[in-house]
Amino acid sequence: MKIGFIGLGIMGSRMAANLLKGGHNLTVYNRTKSKANELLKNGAKWADNPVSLVKEVDVLITMLEKPDVVNLVALGEGGFLNAMKPNSIWIDVSTVNPSFSKKLSETATAKNVRFLDAPVSGSKVPAEKGELIFLVGGNENDLKEVQPLLDLMGSKTLHIGQHGMGSAMKIMINQMLGQAMLAFSESLSLGIAMGIDKTKAMDVLLNSAVSAPILTAFRSRIEEENYEPNFPLKHLQKDLQLFTDTAFEYQKATPLTNTAKEVYAIAKQQEMADLDFSAVFQLLNK
Ligand code: NAP
């Protein structure tokens, strides 16, 4: 089975590396070619553009920044979808909005391409270790066919439902992630202002029942003020935007997410876009 991978950023480069380690025949493409160097050294083949890549492969995986980018690379000028082999499978693991995934599945199906939305939970380190969690929307039989590939990149696959449901679950998770980080940052920042020792405040907050378990993993970043990105802040802000856009489609009010989204937007404007999203603590602690 020939596999293609488009999008070799923080996540994609590591996921593709695990497919290679699994012994697969892998062809890759990325807008910035230098990010493929390590993979090419380890045996991956390079395609000069997405169209020439998909002509070769039975399974395509895309890991791109956001819906506009997936749309551009798949359906824009020089887009790959028209060139995919009949009955091949396209797994989009990018974080996008559910209605966009559903639309992609309809467009792909009309072209006799099988589609799965399979965004991932887990960041740079789980991607490197092959310990991501896949949240999948689409046909169960298609998923079964590609499960061995997902097992090389992840430790768990959750079939959530039909097309779009993987993306739906993913934006729900990131909505809670974004809010948890903000709530923690706001509380810690006031604690410091009131004169509580930062280490003590962190000890108590992170060991209390009200703390989200994920926050413990960010403790050292905030202590050491190291915001080298595992999950860039601009992507988390994008995910909150996708959540509120989706809520609008369903006529649901999302007052907390709208506020959170704008706090991250302010951080983005203050040159934190490419830092880890936990850098939002800096904004609130100024
Ligand atoms: P990243 O490092 O910023 O990578 C983004 C990818 O999109 C790169 O391959 C980039 O190409 C490509 N891209 C962006 N704009 C493009 C354009 N106009 N045309 C063609 N390619 C373009 O991001 P990442 O952290 O790997 O995230 C990728 C996706 O996974 C996002 O949807 C993100 O929300 C999601 N995600 C991230 C994490 C995480 O912890 N990082 C976890 C779960 C899900 P270049 O290399 O040329 O810029």
Confidence label for 119 from pLDDT (cuts 50, 70 and 90): very high
Residue 180 and residue 125 share a domain: no
233-272 pLDDT tens trace: 999 999 999 999 999 999 999 999 999 999 999 999 999 9
Q: Which amino acid is at 166?
A: G
Residue having the nearest C-alpha atom to atom 17 of ligand 1: 69
* Residue 154 sits in the same domain as residue 179: no
Task: Name the amino acid, one letter, at 19.
Answer: L
User: Which band of pLDDT confidence, cut at 50, 70 and 90, is reported for residue 91?
Assistant: very high
Cβ–ligand 1 distance for 36 under 6 Å, the answer no
Q: What are phi and psi of 52, to 5 degrees?
A: -65, -30
In sign, the C-alpha dihedral spanning 38, 41, 42, 44 is positive
Residue 46: the pLDDT is 98
Split into its structural domains, the chain has a count of: 2
> Which H or E run includes 145?
helix 140-153
Domain boundary among 107, 133, 162: 162
Domain shared by 12 and 114, yes or no: yes
> 101 near 92, Cβ under 8 Å?
yes
In short, whether 53's Cβ falls inside 6 Å of ligand 1 is no
Range of the domain at 260: 169-284
Under a CB-based contact definition with an 8 Å cutoff, are residues 7 and 24 in contact? no
- Asked if residue 229 and residue 154 are part of one domain, the reply reads no
* Best residue for ligand 1 mutational test, from 32, 234, 235, 240 (most atoms within 8 Å of Cβ): 235
pLDDT computed for residue 56 by the predictor: 86
The reply to whether 145 and 173 lie within a common domain is: no
Whether 62 and 111 share a structural domain = yes
Q: Which one is catalytic: 55, 66, 144, 170?
A: 170
Find residue 28's DSSP bridge partners: 5, 46
Nearest CA among 174, 212, 211, 189 for reference residue 280: 189
Q: Write the pLDDT tens digit of every residue in 98-114.
A: 999 999 999 999 999 99
CATH code of 33's domain:
3.40.50.720
Does 33 lie in the same domain as 112? Answer: yes
For the question of residue 55 being annotated catalytic, the response is: no
* Residue range 196-234, pLDDT digits in tens: 999 999 999 999 999 999 999 999 999 999 999 999 999
| Together in a domain, 279 and 247 | yes
Residues 80 and 185 in one domain: no
pLDDT for 41-90, tens place per residue? 999 999 999 999 999 899 999 999 999 999 999 999 999 999 999 999 99
| Domain end call among 146, 162, 178 | 162
